[in-house]
Amino acid sequence: MLARAVELLQKINEELLELLIGILIWGGFAQLAFVWFVPDKKIYSLCLWIGIGLAAFAAVHMWWSIDRNLSENSGNEKRAQAKGNLYYMIRYFIALFVFYMVAKYYGPYFLAAALGERGISVAAHMQPIVKRFIYDKYIKREVTL
């Protein structure tokens, strides 16, 4: 299992890595900026980071499903579209389940989870900034042929 995770991280796309960094930056910002306005800071933090984890899962699952769909179904557009819709529905129902469980156990703090999950959108808009100021300076891998 660990070897498979290492293999996945080695072939991960640069844009996905930049998106994940942006999601973590959003999580840090949402934690520091909004934690002061809620009565139960521990539950807010827990729900926010559940949402951040959901956003990271959605980003990785999107990358995986698009990569897999393009490699398996090249030339067969109808099958590729059907598989893409299936993968989308899987992500959608997982998000619904997570939000339902958070709302069931933590009540109105499911909004904190939704705030964290929106990190995927914020990170997509922050991607050029993350690439220029963080990824290229500190993380960029050397390309060897």
- Answer whether 52's CB lies under 8 Å from 27's CB: yes
The whole-number pLDDT of residue 143 equals 47
pLDDT of 145: 46
The residue type at 3: A
For residues 91-119, one letter each, b for 16 or more C-beta atoms within 10 angstroms of the residue's C-beta and e for the rest, the string is eeeebeebbeebbeebeebbbbbbbbbbb
Can you give the C-alpha Rg of the chain in angstroms? 17
Q: What are 64-92's pLDDT values in tens digits?
A: 888 888 777 777 778 888 888 899 999 99
All residue ranges of the chain with pLDDT < 70 are 1-2, 4-11, 135, 138-145
Give the pTM: 0.82
In this predicted structure, what is the pLDDT of residue 66?
A: 85
pLDDT of 100 reads 95
- How much is the pLDDT for 53? 95
pLDDT confidence of residue 13:
76
Cα separation of 36 and 142, whole Å?
Answer: 42
